[in-house]
Amino acid sequence: MKRIAVFTSGGDAPGMNAHIRAVERVGEKRGLEVIGIIGGYSGMIAGHFEVLDRIRTANIIDRGGTVLKTSRCEEFLYPQGREAAARELKAHGIDGVIACGGDGTFRGAHALCLEHHIPIVGTPGTIDNDLSGTDYTIGYDTAVNTATEAIDKIRDTADSHGRLFFIEVMGRHAGFIAMDVGIASGAEFIAVPETITDVEVLYQRVLAQGLDKRTIVIVGEGDELGGATMLSNLINERYGLEARVAILGHIQRGGSPTVRDRVLGSRLGAAAVDALLEGHTDVMVGDMAGAITHVSLEQTWTFRKPVPPVIVELSSLLV
């Protein structure tokens, strides 16, 4: 293996730059040439490749987003798109690829591996933390800290007015962000897709807190009843309660990465280079209980990683 490529794909996540930097530096130490693919799978198909070196990857460790850019690429869902991408990889003499992203990225990588026999190692890069085979994903820690900081500010105004707030956080199919920020911000109720949200129980919580008091309800965007607006409307229609809604949105994806995300991104970058050199392919490198793991890409999305039951229990003990 002489030349490897790295790219970021799907939703960007803080820590991706630390990851790119680590891939370049460790690759160089191992005698490899490292290529960056610009713009995720779209860039792969279009042949947007650039040589990475120490200068290109200097001064990026503290930056949010991804210097390699990213995309959600419709074309890659089809065999023709993947064929075009494989052609470009081969034309550029790429011997192995490191794909940093979430389940959509890994589905694409898995198909590319199967159809075109290109060695690919995935690394978990998503704020959602919803990939099986790793305790944490790159970007999650920064996202929960950003969300908590924002909620602390909302709490000030909620407290001053004695208002009920529904605050929506990201997590398309998983409640990791909602659970952790709910606990960290002392929320009165947390609605996540993993548990059934009972509106009557929610109403009783609001009553117990006191209708003239601040009440914070954290809603994971993937909750089965819908997002914060939906829950607020439901509680208004059924019980006549007035509430304010705040959707934190993409603010959660930006910002300078925390130490944890910089270290995780770096660690998994180094592990991914070594995994390729050791002949691993169609796997994701992760970190479980402090040890580097290799799990098949398919496993990362077929096994649903549960929100730790102790965390769910803790959240109900604290309200």
Of 106-114, 153-161, 165-173, 311-319, the segment contacting ligand F6P by CB under 6 A is: 165-173
Residues 6+ apart with CB under 8 A from 175: 190, 192, 193, 194, 195, 220, 222, 223, 307
Q: Which is nearer to ligand F6P, 46 or 251 (CB)?
A: 251
105 makes contact with ligand F6P (CB under 6 A): no
Q: Determine the interface stretch with ligand F6P among 1-9, 104-112, 164-172, 178-186 (rule: CB under 6 A).
A: 164-172
Q: Which residue has the tokens 């009553």?
A: 207
Stretch 207-246: interaction string toward ligand F6P, x if CB under 6 A: --------------x-------------------------
Q: Which is nearer to ligand F6P, 128 or 141 (CB)?
A: 128
The DSSP output letter for 225 is: T
Q: Which of 17, 66, 126, 232 binds ligand F6P (CB under 6 A)?
A: 126
Identity of residue 217: V
Distances from the Cα of 194 to the Cα of 75, 173, 220, 222, 225, angstroms: 31, 9, 10, 9, 12
Return the number of the residue (179 or 235) whose C-beta is nearest ligand F6P.
179
Active site residue 152: no
Minimum CB separation from ligand F6P for residue 125, in Å?
9
The amino acid at 29: K
The residue with tokens 């419709």 is 74
Rounded CA-CA distance 34/44 in Å is: 15
| SS3 call for 69 | coil
Task: Find the catalytic residue in 103, 128, 130, 287.
Answer: 128
Binding mask of the shown chain, residues 247 to 266, with x at each position contacting ligand F6P by CB under 6 A: ------x-------------
Helix (H) / strand (E) containing 281: none
Please name the amino acid found at residue 155.
R
Among 127, 235, 276, 295, interactor with ligand F6P by CB under 6 A: 127
127 or 187, CB closer to ligand F6P?
127
Task: Report DSSP state, residue 294.
Answer: E
DSSP string for 82-147: HHHHHHHHHHTT--EEEEEE-HHHHHHHHHHHHHH---EEEEEB-TT---TT-S--BTHHHHHHHH
Does 170 bind ligand F6P (CB under 6 A)? Our answer is yes
The one segment of 59-67, 120-128, 157-165, 306-314 that binds ligand F6P by CB under 6 A: 120-128
Binding site for ligand F6P (CB under 6 A): 10-11, 72, 126-128, 170-172, 221, 253
